[in-house]
Amino acid sequence: MEGKSDMNTMEVEVAASAPLPSKPKFGALRAHEMSDGLVQFRKVAVPPHRFTPLKKAWLEIYNPIYEQMKIDVRMNLKNRRVELKTRADTPDVSNLQKCADFVHAFMLGFDVTDAVALLRVDELFVESFEIKDVKTLKGDHKSRAIGRLSGKGGKTKFAIENATRTRIVVADSKIHILGSFTNNKVARSSLCSLILGSPAGKVYSKLRAVTARLAERF
């Protein structure tokens, strides 16, 4: 009986010491492989007032999209649209959407140097809202609200941008904010206070307190 138990333990030990097969390593799928070889498209409309700036900044937009993100891009003059499509060597399927967001941000009025951050940082996005979403204003009241948002020579807008590390575009009654979720939330809160009639000094002091808390947290 003892001999049999010794044999069993030996068999278990031999079986346990046998090497396990190595884990398979699968490479990341390319964009055309994920879509079964089909080409994926995105189209971004060009507003009339952004057509001339697009012509001037075309090379600055074209180079990062084509060379870094490996996405084909062209301007369709007939339909007034920027068209993007994946290539066989596009490394990641998300690159197409990043490039579409980058071009869209430029159409909203952001500088190329600011909008290009959307290609390099995953946490950034553009948030848009209108003055009427916060408060219904008409005529001179609306004009004064837009004036409060920008401040003298853009002073108020620059102060909010620098404090919250965002970029803000005030296009008539529409406001666009480019930044991370937390920073966008702080910037939007400050802009809403200005729309509702708070003086710039009060908004600055509140903004300083909030940014100090954020700095302590991170």
DSSP 174: E
State residue 197's pLDDT score.
87
Calculate the average pLDDT of the chain. 86
Q: Which residues contact 79 (CB under 8 A, 6 or more apart)?
A: none
What are the tens digits of pLDDT across the range 146-188? 998 888 888 999 999 998 999 999 988 899 999 999 999 999 9
Q: Over 60: is that where the pLDDT of 3 sits?
A: no
3-class DSSP assignment, residue 19? coil
Query: Averaged over 62-75, what is the pLDDT?
Result: 93
What are the tens digits of pLDDT across the range 192-213? 999 998 888 888 888 888 888 8
What are phi and psi for residue 152, nearest 5 degrees? Answer: -70, 115
Distance, in Å, from the CA atom of 216 to the CA atom of 19, rounded to the nearest integer, reads 51
* 65 closest CA partner among 35, 36, 34, 44: 44
Distance from first CA to last CA of the chain, Å, rounded? Answer: 67
- Under 8 Å between Cβ of 207 and 161: no
Rg over alpha carbons for the chain, rounded to the nearest Å, is: 27
What tokens appear for 202 in the block?
């009060």
pLDDT tier, 13 (very low <50, low <70, confident <90, very high otherwise)? low
